[in-house]
Every structure is written in C-alpha cells, then in structure tokens.
Amino acid sequence: MAVVSIINQKGGVAKTTTSVNIAASWSSTGRKVLLIDLDPQASATRSIFGEEEFEKTIFDVFINRLPPEEAVVRSKVFSIDVIPSEILLSGVDIQIAAHFGREKILKNKIDGIRKKYDAVIIDCAPSLGLLTINALMASRDIIIPICPEYFSLKGIELILETLKNLRIGLGHKVHVRGIVISRYRDRKIAKSTIDEIRQAYGLKIFESYIPDNIAVEEAHHKHLPVIDHAPLSGAAKAFHALAEETWA
C-alpha cells in the first residue's frame, strides 16, 4: 500500500488528468483506490462528479476534525473512493500556518484509513504551499506530470529542492516514482525536452507518453475515465500502459 502524490507547481500540466485516469486504470485491474482531491480548484472532484455538491470534503478533515472515512464518497463510474475538495480549502494554508505539526496534519488524519486501500492518490494544487507539503509528508512516492512543450527545468529543480528540504528539515524521504510525459506531440521540441530531462536528472521517465488527444478533454466533460469514454483512442491505450508502469 502506498500513498502517491501527483505534483507539479506548474499549472495545467495534467496533474488532475493523470490522477483521475491512473486511479481509474488501477482500479480497472482490481485494485482498491482512494483519490484525495487536495486542490481548492476541485478539478478532480468536478471531473469525476460534475456539479454534484458535497456536504463533507477534505476541508472538514483538515479544519473540522472530521474523520476522513466520513468524507469518502464512492464513484461507481470510476470504481474508486474519493475525498472531494471545495473552494474553502484555499484558506487552509493560512488557517493551519500557526499549528504545531502543521506539515503532518494530512498524514496523521489518513494513517488509519489508508490501510483499507491498495493505493491512495493525492491530486495536488499547482503550488508548493502548505497543502502540498502536507501531501508530500503523507506520501511515500510522487509522480511528476509534465507537458514537454511548456516545460522548464527550473520546475523539476524546485520540486527536488522541496524534497531535499523535507528530508533534511523534517526527516521524511519521498521517492520520485517517475515523470509522466503528457500532451505529447511528435515534435522535435518535445523530443529534445525529454532528452534534456533525461540528461539533467537521474529520474525515471515512464515510457508510455500520453498523447495530446481531444478524447482526454471530452472525458473530463463527460465525467468518465478516458479508458471508458474512448477505449480505442491512443490516450486510453497510453493510460492502460501507464497504469501498469506506474504501479509499484
């Protein structure tokens, strides 16, 4: 059982797309998966459930001492459990800033519930603020999605720097499971960016690149995993393969 955070402080690099689709693909092969939406934008919650409102969310787990199992909702369509998010979560960084042990709130809360699952995936916000630090402290591994055409090496350096600070400052070691190449288009610039990453860091780059494919966007709008919305698409095949590669 592992807790895996999907992180990149850069916005729009397919963190949510990777989170919901890997969760669905892992579950399609019989694994019990919990997805925690830790982004105040609640994109994963919206992608899975549309406009459905939830009385209890991850906000209540952080702030109102709600046991996490009471915030869990089931998605039959994705065959996963989800702890949804809401916009109120955007104030949590400030609300917990003065708490003792503020970096370990999520870890302490989910330590009991995570044992019920084969995997817990945390969809992080595009920031390295206190919420993301909580995700990292609760995680054994991270997966970093990037879009090669909009990539900058500085982004990965900042993540690695944060991991180093956690190791030195808080004694918590996080393993980088690998980098997911998303919105891939067969262009020179994408290939040279991927080579650049390969040379700069000793990090694993998963071989299943997720192609830039309209089926991905459509699947979000239809509140379906890509593998169900367009099972024959290149993106669905890539997610099937990526799910196997990213399982560890």
Ligand X SMILES: Nc1ncnc2c1ncn2[C@@H]1O[C@H](COP(=O)(O)OP(=O)(O)OP(=O)(O)O)[C@@H](O)[C@H]1O
210 near ligand X, rule: CB under 6 A: yes
Partner in contact with 17, chosen from ligand X, Mg ion, none, beta carbon below 5 to 8 Å by kind: ligand X
Task: Name the minimum Å distance from CB 173 to ligand X.
Answer: 25
13 near ligand X, rule: CB under 6 A: yes
* Degrees, nearest 5: CA angle 70-74-77: 165
Partner in contact with 13, chosen from Mg ion, ligand X, none, beta carbon below 5 to 8 Å by kind: ligand X
Taking CB under 6 A as the criterion, which residues in 39-68 touch ligand X?
39, 41, 43
Partner in contact with 12, chosen from ligand X, Mg ion, none, beta carbon below 5 to 8 Å by kind: ligand X
Nearer to Mg ion, 7 or 176 (CB): 7
Site string (173-192) toward ligand X, x via CB under 6 A: ---------xx---------
- What tokens appear for 64 in the block? 């109102």
- What tokens appear for 139 in the block? 């995680």
Task: Name the minimum Å distance from CB 18 to ligand X.
Answer: 7
The contacts of residue 93 (CB under 8 Å, 6+ apart) are: 129, 130, 131
Task: Name the minimum Å distance from CB 99 to ligand X.
Answer: 25
**Burial degree of 127 (CB within 10 A; 0-12, 13-18, 19+):** middle
Q: Which of 145, 144, 126, 123 is nearest to 135 (CA)?
A: 123
Selected binder of Mg ion within 21, 43, 233, 246 (CB under 5 A) = 43
DSSP-based three-state secondary structure for 221: helix
Site size toward ligand X, by CB under 6 A: 20
Q: Which of 154, 144, 131, 114 is nearest to 18 (CA)?
A: 144
Q: Which of 129, 164, 138, 148 is nearest to 197 (CA)?
A: 148
Partner in contact with 210, chosen from ligand X, Mg ion, none, beta carbon below 5 to 8 Å by kind: ligand X
114 near ligand X, rule: CB under 6 A: no
Q: Where are the alpha helices (DSSP H) in 102-223?
A: 105-110, 130-138, 153-170, 188-200, 214-222
Selected binder of Mg ion within 10, 15, 56, 183 (CB under 5 A) = 15
Cα 66 to Cα 154: distance, rounded to the nearest angstrom: 38
- Which residues of this protein are in contact with ligand X, per CB under 6 A? 11-17, 39, 41, 43, 126, 182-183, 210, 212-213, 216-217, 220, 235
Q: Footprint of Mg ion on this chain (CB under 5 A)?
A: 15-16, 43
